[in-house]
Amino acid sequence: MAEPVAVDTDVLLKVAAYRMANEFVDSIAGKGPPSILGLTHIIAGKQLMRRRKQLRDVGRAVSELDTLLGICERLEPEDEEIRIAAEFAGMAQDRGLPLDPGEAQLAAIVASRALPLMVTGDKRAISALCQLVEDTPIREVFVGKLACFEQIISAVAGLIGEVAVRERICSEPEMDGAMRLACSCDRAVWDPVQLSEACSSFVGAVRAEVGDLLAGDSAFA
């Protein structure tokens, strides 16, 4: 059985808004099934509703989130993983790095269980985690295992095409400003190359900062 892929809440919310649950699962299938913290099953719906003013179709987003939550496995942290997460969070706070408790907990589980991938919607969190583990033995555990949302979008585009992805993103343009711009949601004329170029630019910028900690293209469908 494949090991689970750790996924943060922000990714869930964007995938739900864009109605990409099945495509998201397919995009990471080579690494494993999506898995989230057990608490996320309780709070994800509330977090989505906090962003309802950004949504054009709240009902469809809620329905897609329910579908996604039904697919995702649960990750329940053990005592040592809670300790490691607290250590990550404390170090991040001391250094003024943007790593929230949920991301710290996912990172601790990935490190402890050697999970194949951690997908986050916050590129700053990837940078923060990179800085926290730099020059430490635990860094090796994260090599090739951190992934950003733009890599998911690129992989989904490879599955269903850029035009279809644009339709999903532009149906909820306020969920991600960078993706809205990449898809020129306010224009009738659009070149699909814009999306691939934007994703490549975003991913390249992250890779330039965190190096080999970022997953390669082969990690996705």
Tell me if 144 sits within 8 A of 216, measured CB to CB.
yes
Q: What is the pLDDT of residues 140-199, one digit of tens each?
A: 999 999 999 999 999 999 999 999 999 999 999 999 999 999 999 999 889 999 999 999
Q: What angle do CA 185, 191, 194 make, to 5 degrees?
A: 75
Q: What is the pLDDT of residue 218?
A: 81
Residue (of 36, 17, 27) closest to 172 by Cα position: 17
Model pTM score: 0.94
Cα distance between residue 9 and residue 40, in whole Å: 7
Residue (of 33, 12, 11, 37) closest to 105 by Cα position: 37
Across the chain, what does the average pLDDT equal? 93
Q: Is the pLDDT of residue 1 over 90?
A: no
Report how many helices (DSSP H) and strands (DSSP E) the chain contains, helices first.
12, 5
Q: What is the pLDDT of residues 74-132, one digit of tens each?
A: 999 999 999 999 999 999 999 999 998 999 999 999 999 999 999 998 889 999 999 99
